[in-house]
């Protein structure tokens, strides 16, 4: 019998639920599953009620359902539109989303993405050389620096010689950090501009300053003689043309660019930090990975064109993304009409969300889910709705290939160049906006790298 109501959830107020979630999201979700099973309702202040999914069959319903019924853009826009606006692939729905996605996906096709591998490697190796040689240091800020410089070069087509590059880098970093780290985006009730010293007022002004630089760069790029041959994402967006012959306006290019910065910078940095943590905690995995990489490294250079063909590297990264979920919840869909899910008739205006953390720890999908086993992703990897790091359906992450390539390149450089060691006996995940990050930025120290010593001796 169908029930015209939402699945059960905590009786606490939206404010209390929001407080508990942001204090310890994993404990909050674990308690919900223990009390209500794998389908339950949560609510935060100023937000719609959200039904949390972590069963592959339920997720299949969400990811393969009609885009006219399930609005992902509206859900994303309720969080990110103060930064991205409402006119980008992330926040559009229906036919508008399909047309825009077709237009902007060119920079993220396989062959186009691979062209950036060399630049990614050069940036990563140079940055790693600058890491402290002695003492403890937090690794996450170092990964943020690498991800930021890769974005600056590959997405914006700029480097350290660009006029005002330091200010541009600073603003881009702040916008990306706000996009993933500010609770005010997740709780609309906190968005009050009370002047430049108020939390939301500061965000408004950072976005305004970033826009001034982005619009100036878009205008400059449109008249650049090199535009026709430039391969950075911004140049490709400027000269891109849809099937209807239309091109993106400056505002649309700005919105798409900011969405890419938000989606790609902080998330990639957090992912790289967790990959490093897993490799330091499990030396046998690191040594097997190093053995796979060594044949590609000759005369001090890594053949990055062959990284995509390395099965163990791919498996290590995907298992890290499973074992250390980047976000406790993600991938919202707003129901535009009632929807049947199991025995429930969910009302319109309900939001469906995915919990990768809960999904990726289901014992029937992953035996001993807390164990780190890259072998899970060798041979017959999990199906699309059992591993959802990059979402699913027609809203699967546009930059998935780009992100995986960046993870492969930077991880390879780190494994071959350093012998990092954990400088803390216990690594605890903590909430940082929508991300789960290592506490204290993951303190590490440099140890001895066997491959680096061997390469130096050979030269």
Domain residue extents for the chain:
14-458
Beta bridge partners of 376: none
CA angle 315, 357, 377 (to 5 degrees): 15
Whole-number Å distance between alpha carbons of 238 and 364: 47
Closest among 332, 326, 336 to 357, alpha carbons compared? 326
Q: What phi and psi, each to the nearest 5 degrees, are found at residue 71?
A: -95, 100
The rounded radius of gyration (Å) of the Cα atoms in the chain is 22
pLDDT in tens, the chain (459 residues): 455 589 999 999 999 999 999 899 999 999 999 999 999 999 998 889 999 999 999 999 999 999 999 999 999 999 999 999 999 999 999 999 999 999 999 899 878 999 999 999 999 999 999 999 999 999 999 999 999 999 999 999 998 888 888 999 999 999 988 877 777 888 888 889 999 999 899 999 999 999 999 999 999 999 999 999 999 999 999 999 888 888 999 999 999 999 999 888 999 999 999 999 999 999 999 999 999 999 999 988 999 999 999 999 999 999 999 999 999 999 899 999 999 999 999 999 999 999 999 999 999 999 999 999 999 999 888 888 999 999 999 999 999 999 999 999 999 999 999 999 999 989 999 989 889 999 999 999 998 876 665 655 555
Whole-number Å distance between alpha carbons of 173 and 142: 13
Q: Does 397 show up as a binding residue in the annotation?
A: yes
> Residue holding tokens 């996009």?
179
- Other C-beta atoms closer than 10 Å to the C-beta of 110 total 10
The domain defined by 14-458 folds into Cytochrome p450 (1.10.630)
């Amino acid at each position: 019998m169908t029930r015209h109501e939402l699945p059960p959830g905590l009786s606490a107020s939206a404010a209390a639920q929001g407080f508990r979630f942001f204090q310890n999201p994993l404990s909050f979700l674990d308690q919900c599953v223990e009390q209500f099973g794998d389908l339950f309702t949560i609510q935060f202040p100023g937000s719609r009620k959200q039904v949390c999914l972590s069963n592959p069959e339920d997720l299949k319903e969400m990811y393969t359902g009609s885009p006219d019924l399930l609005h992902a853009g509206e859900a994303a826009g309720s969080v990110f539109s103060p930064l991205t606006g409402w006119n980008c692939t992330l926040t559009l729905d229906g036919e508008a989303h399909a047309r825009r996605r077709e237009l902007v996906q060119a920079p993220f096709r396989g062959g186009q993405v691979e062209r950036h591998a060399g630049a990614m490697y050069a940036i990563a190796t140079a940055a790693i050389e600058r890491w402290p040689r002695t003492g403890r240091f937090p690794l996450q800020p170092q990964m943020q620096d690498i991800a930021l410089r890769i974005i600056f070069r590959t997405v914006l087509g700029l480097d350290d010689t660009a006029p005002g590059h330091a200010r541009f880098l600073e603003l881009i970093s702040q916008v990306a950090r706000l996009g993933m780290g500010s609770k005010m985006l997740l709780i609309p009730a906190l968005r009050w501009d009370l002047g430049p010293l108020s939390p939301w007022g500061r965000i408004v002004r950072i976005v305004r300053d970033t826009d001034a630089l982005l619009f100036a760069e878009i205008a400059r790029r449109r008249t650049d003689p090199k535009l026709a041959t430039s391969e950075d994402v911004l140049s490709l967006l400027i000269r891109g043309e849809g099937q209807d012959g239309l091109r993106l306006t400056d505002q649309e290019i700005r919105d798409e660019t900011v969405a890419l910065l938000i989606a790609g910078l902080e998330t990639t940095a957090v992912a790289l930090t967790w990959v490093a943590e897993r490799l330091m905690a499990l030396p046998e995995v690191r040594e097997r990975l190093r053995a796979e990489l060594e044949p590609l490294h000759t005369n001090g250079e890594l053949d990055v064109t062959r990284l995509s063909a390395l099965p163990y590297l791919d498996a290590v990264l995907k298992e890290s993304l499973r074992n250390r979920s980047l976000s406790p919840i993600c991938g919202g869909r707003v129901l535009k009409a009632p929807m049947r899910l199991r025995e429930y008739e969910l009302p319109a205006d309900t939001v469906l969300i995915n919990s990768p953390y809960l999904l990726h720890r289901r014992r029937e999908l992953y035996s001993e889910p807390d164990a780190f086993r890259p072998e899970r992703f060798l041979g017959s990897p999990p199906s699309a709705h059992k591993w959802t790091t990059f979402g699913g359906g027609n809203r699967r992450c546009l930059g998935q290939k780009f992100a995986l390539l960046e993870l492969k390149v930077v991880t390879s450089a780190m494994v071959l160049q350093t012998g990092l060691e954990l400088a803390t006996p216990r690594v605890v995940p903590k909430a940082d906006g929508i991300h789960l990050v290592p506490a204290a930025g993951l303190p590490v120290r440099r140890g001895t790298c066997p491959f680096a010593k061997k390469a130096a001796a050979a030269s």
